[in-house]
Amino acid sequence: MSLKKFTFNVKYKDKFSRSGLIETHRGKIQTPAFMPVGTQATVKAVFINDIIKTGTEIILSNTYHLMLRPGVDRIINAGGLHKFMNCKLPILTDSGGFQVMSLSKLNKIDKEKGAIFKSHIDGKEFILSPEESIKIQKELNSDIVMVMDECPKKTNDKNLIKKSMDLSMYWAKRSKDSFGKNPHKALFGIVQGGLFNDLRQESLKRLMEIDFDGYALGGLAVGDTQKEMFSVIDDLKHNLPTNKPRYLMGVGNPSDIIGAVKRGIDMFDCVLPTRSGRTGLAFTWKGRINIKNSKYKYDNSPLDEKCENFNLKNYSKNYLNHLFNTNEILASMILTLHNINFYQELMKSIRENIKNGTFDKFHDHYINKL
C-alpha cells in the first residue's frame, strides 16, 4: 500500500484567521493545532494514549535532546521514534538549533561545520551541521522535519541579527538539499530576522525561493513582548504563502495563541501547559489557578466545571491542593493532563469559531482572560 502524501488545505477563513487540514500518512491534523512537547521521547507525566484522548493529533520532539540521550542508535534499533515511544501520532522534530543556543556549554558557530557545542549533560563535544540535523531527523523517522537554523539571543544589534539570518538562510538551503524529495514527509523553513521587518521579509523571500512544505516563524518568545511578536506576524501575514502551513515556534500562552490565530498562524508548540501542570498552575476557561494557594484548602469544586474528559472534574481543588502540598506524583499527572486537555479544547473552540465566522468575537472575549 502506497503512503499518503503530505498535504495541506485551508477549509475555512474568517478574515486572516483560518482553519485547515494537514494530511500525513500517519493521520490528519486539524489546524489551528497545538502540539504538546515530548522533548525526550515523552510528554512528561502523561501516557501517550491519554494525550490522544485529549484530541491531540501531533506532538513535538527534539533532535538535540534525543541525540544526547538516549542516542539515535538506540531509537533506530527500536524501529524509529514512533515505535520507541509507542506513539501512533505524527511527530514534528525541532532541528536542535534553539537548544544549542540556550542549553549547551561553550557553543561555537562555524558557517561550514555547523554548531560546535558541549553537552549540557556531560560536557562531551558534538558538531551539529545542517546535514547532520536532517540525517538525525530522518533516522528518527519524523513526519515534519525542521531546517537547521541559528537562534541568536535577543538583541537590538541589527548587524548581528542580519549576520545570523544570512547564516540561517545558508543552512536552510543545505537542509533542503540534504532532505531531498520525499512527498510523504514535510520540511519546514524557519523565518528569522529578529524584530526587524526588512530582515524578516528578506528571510521569507529567500526561503520561498528555496521552497518548503511549510513556514515557521522562529526567534520569537525569547524575551520579546506580545506586542512585538504580534507586530512581526502582522508584517509577515500578507506575504506568507497561503497554501502552506504557518508555524509559530515555541509559543503557547493561550492569549498569544488566540492573537496569533487572528493573524493567520496554523500551528503552535510550547512546554507551558505541561511544565505548569507539574508546578501547580492550571489553565481554565475562567483563567489560571495556582492550586497550591491555601485558599483552595476547603474548596470542593472542580478545576473547571466545563471539562468533561477523563472525569477530571471529579477531582476537587481541595484534593489537588493536598496532593501538591504533599508532593504526590499524582498531582503532576492530573494537572498536566488537565492542561493538555484544556489546550485542545481551546484549539477546537478556535476552529469552530473560525468555521462559524465568529472568531473576532471569541478573540475579544478571551484574549485578556486566559
Instruction: Tell me whether residue 235 is one of the annotated catalytic residues.
Output: no
Q: CA-to-CA distance for 104 and 208, rounded, in angstroms?
A: 31
**Which one of 14, 235, 256, 269 is the catalytic residue?**
269
HEC sequence for 276-311: HHHHCEEEECCEEEECCCHHHCCCCCECCCCCCHHH
| Phi, psi of 80, rounded to the nearest 5 degrees | 105, 170
- Rounded to an integer, what is the distance from CA 208 to the centroid of its chain? 22
- Rounded to an integer, what is the distance from CA 214 to the centroid of its chain? 14
**Cα–Cα nearest to 274, from 265, 287, 266, 283:** 283
Sign of CA dihedral 284, 286, 289, 295: negative
- Antiparallel, parallel or unpaired: β 186-191 and 33-36: unpaired
Query: Please, are residues 232 and 220 in contact by the beta-carbon 8 Å criterion?
Result: yes
All cell numbers assigned to 88: 501512533
Instruction: Tell me whether residue 110 is one of the annotated catalytic residues.
Output: no
C-alpha distances out from residue 73 to 125, 132, 370, Å = 18, 14, 42
- Rounded to an integer, what is the distance from CA 88 to the centroid of its chain? 18
Helix (H, G, I), strand (E, B) or coil at 22: strand
**Which one of 94, 213, 266, 304 is the catalytic residue?**
94
Q: CA-to-CA distance for 143 and 321, rounded, in angstroms?
A: 39
Query: Please, are residues 9 and 20 in contact by the beta-carbon 8 Å criterion?
Result: yes
Q: How many residues does the chain have?
A: 370
In the block, cell 505541561 appears at 274
Residues noted as catalytic? 94, 269
